[in-house]
Amino acid sequence: MTELLRLEKIRKTFPGVLANDNVDLVIEQGEIHALLGENGAGKTTLMNCVYGVYRPDSGKIIWKGKEVTIHQARDAIALGIGMVHQHFKLVPPLTVAENVVLGLPSKREPFLDLVAVEKEILETTKRYGLDVDPKAQIWQLPVGVQQRVEILKALYRQAELLILDEPTAVLTPGEVEELFEVLRSLTKQGLSIIFITHKLEEVMDVCDRVTVLRDGCVVHTVNKTETNTRELARMMVGREVFLKVDKPDLIPGEVVLEVQDLSALDNRGLPAVKNVSFTIRRNEILGVAGVDGNGQTELADVIAGMRKATSGKVVIRGSDVTNLSPLDIIKKSVAYIPPDRQHTGLLLDFTLTENLIGKSYYRPPFSKHGVFQKKVINEFSSKAIRDYDVRTPGPELKAKLLSGGNQQKVVLARELSGQPDLVIASQPTRGLDIGATEYVRTRMVEARNRGAALLLISTELEEVLSLSDRIAVMYEGEIMGIVPGKDADIHEIGEMMAGVRRVGDRTANAGKTEVVKVS
């Protein structure tokens, strides 16, 4: 094998953050090389240095044996490096062909030559098994196909190295398989691929070699055949990890949340939630699986009172709360862990204490006759920080100065310390490292064991599978099916996520015998 790319001692800092330190990496021709690491390990930053988005502070990039400087993406493209970012860089109203040729001179300059381009695209798609219609507009295409357009764009620019940043995060299990097929056929034609991920199974599935990154440094580079997921996890986290949360079997109690034929619109005014119905009981976690953007966020928003339902009903412990204000819903003993702790979850410029009492500051014991009870508040805040293991120099720190994991702990402390009856958790572990993820999951199972009903929305299928008592799958705003969490068939769930299978509510009869109505 010949060496294609070599990185030597790459170092990149952001103000106050050492994102990459002393990174060495060698990519051989024709290999799929995994770049494995937790969120924040510096994977994206490293690749952005190679692609010219960032300039490394120091270190060398050697391409085909020659040292190169890459000032901007254009330089990388000219060398033969293509990158598919986590957020696609496609122009939605333009066609596939237009996106592919964007920025390239045409053969009939200054005129476009789209007919010829469309033909070339079709040839390329045939060669690599990428199925794309060059005339389609980007916005009409599912995410999986958009990703293929990004790959196509790189191939059209004669890329010899393709960098994919967490390409599977937006895909259904079926689409992941298709992507892997494409990647394999690409390497057969001599391309090299850098595959960024934090999912161990994917490494074992498709990659030839793995480089593990932790805290900006390379831990190790190994051949896949000489390692296993357990060892990789240890290298990635730096200690043994147990992601399986112990969950005792409990018999679900009374119905806490009942959602009937609920519909709602998204921010653009298009239907996002369509006639959704389900119930959740005490001691039960209902997981909602689905590819991001299929109405899960909007569903959570409606239940929490942050978005209007256009029809249908939300009933909490027997009383109709449809379209009440968020405050009225909070008063029904509802906790909400929003998907974006930075915007909705926390007031970043407020202190931890202020954030911790953010939902109850106006009532006793925190305030009396409109005056804050400083002593009570401080005691509460110190206790919450202790109980929820928030790593901070003090309670008066501004929330924005905490790491993501600790920010999420503050959200959890605020939401769960009041012992709510209903917990709506939307993407509660998104962007967290394994340690913090473990912590958040344990806390949620604790809430369930205590008697709360939980609605868990997550695009990480693995998370839904490991925590849920029942699993609902959403696709384009509809629930394709609800199945028991125990021994769930991942294949079937994958098909529901892709919208090609509908099974209805298989759990409908469970526990129906003891419908209790309490209000």
Ligand X SMILES: Nc1ncnc2c1ncn2[C@@H]1O[C@H](COP(=O)(O)OP(=O)(O)O)[C@@H](O)[C@H]1O
Q: Where on the chain is the footprint of other proteins (CB under 8 A)?
A: 53-55, 72-74, 77, 85, 88-94, 98-99, 101-106, 109-112, 153
Interacting partner of 19 out of ligand X, Mg ion, other proteins, none (Cβ under 5 to 8 A depending on kind): ligand X
99 lines the binding site for Mg ion (CB under 5 A): no
Nearer to Mg ion, 48 or 294 (CB): 48
Where b means 16+ CB within 10 Å and e means fewer, 199-218 reads bbebbbebbbbbbbbbebbb
Choose the one of other proteins, Mg ion, ligand X, none that binds residue 110, judging by a C-beta under 5 to 8 angstroms depending on kind: other proteins
CA distance 276 to 480: 10
Contact residues toward ligand X (CB under 6 A) are 14, 17, 19, 37, 39-45
> In the complex, what is the shortest distance from the CB of residue 167 to Mg ion, in angstroms, rounded to a whole number?
11
Q: Specify the residue, 48 or 381, whose C-beta has the smaller distance to Mg ion.
A: 48
Of 355, 340, 339, 257, give the one whose Cα is nearest residue 303. Answer: 257
Contact between residue 396 and residue 350 where contact means Cβ atoms under 8 Å apart: no
Shortest distance (Å) from residue 44 CB to ligand X: 3
Altogether, the residues listed in the chain come to a count of 519
- Which residues 6+ apart lie within 8 Å of 463 measured at CB? 287, 429, 441, 456
**Exposed, middle or buried, 105 (CB in 10 Å: 0-12/13-18/19+)?**
exposed
Is residue 197 close enough to count as binding Mg ion by CB under 5 A?
A: no
> Residue 111's binding partner, choosing from ligand X, Mg ion, other proteins, none, with beta-carbon cut-off 5 to 8 A by kind?
other proteins
Residue with tokens 């979850």: 345
Cβ closest to other proteins, residue 170 vs residue 299: 170
Q: How far is the CB of 271 from ligand X (least distance, A)?
A: 33
**Among other proteins, ligand X, Mg ion, none, partner that 248 touches (CB below 5 to 8 angstroms by kind):** none
Instruction: Name the token pair of 426.
Output: 């939307």
| Spatial distance between the Cα atoms of 408 and 427, rounded to a whole number of angstroms | 11
- Give me the DSSP letters along 15-82: TTEEEEEEEEEEEETT-EEEEE--TTSSHHHHHHHHHTSS--SEEEEEETTEEE---SHHHHHHHTEE
Site for Mg ion contains 147 (CB under 5 A):
no
Determine the interface stretch with Mg ion among 42-50, 66-74, 291-299, 510-518 (rule: CB under 5 A).
Answer: 42-50
Q: For the CB of residue 19, give the shortest distance to ligand X in the complex, in Å.
A: 4
Beta bridge partners of 319: 316
Torsion of CA 68, 72, 75, 81, to 10 degrees: 90
Q: How far is the CB of 212 from ligand X (least distance, A)?
A: 11
Q: Report the partner that residue 92 touches, choosing among ligand X, Mg ion, other proteins, none (CB closer than 5 to 8 A by kind).
A: other proteins
45 binds Mg ion (CB under 5 A): no
Please, what is the minimum distance in Å from the beta carbon of residue 110 to other proteins?
A: 5
Helices 374-387 and 404-416 pack at an angle, to 10 degrees, of 120
DSSP state of 400: G
101 binds, among other proteins, ligand X, Mg ion, none (CB under 5 to 8 A by kind): other proteins
Instruction: Specify the residue, 85 or 398, whose C-beta has the smaller distance to Mg ion.
Output: 85
Comparing CB distances to Mg ion, the nearer of 44 and 146 is 44
Contact 259, 314 (CB under 8 A): yes
Residue among 20, 44, 95, 459 that touches Mg ion (CB under 5 A): 44
Cβ 338 to Mg ion shortest distance, Å: 21
Nearer to ligand X, 215 or 505 (CB): 215
CA–CA dist 169, 456 (Å, integer): 18
Residues that bind Mg ion (CB under 5 A): 44
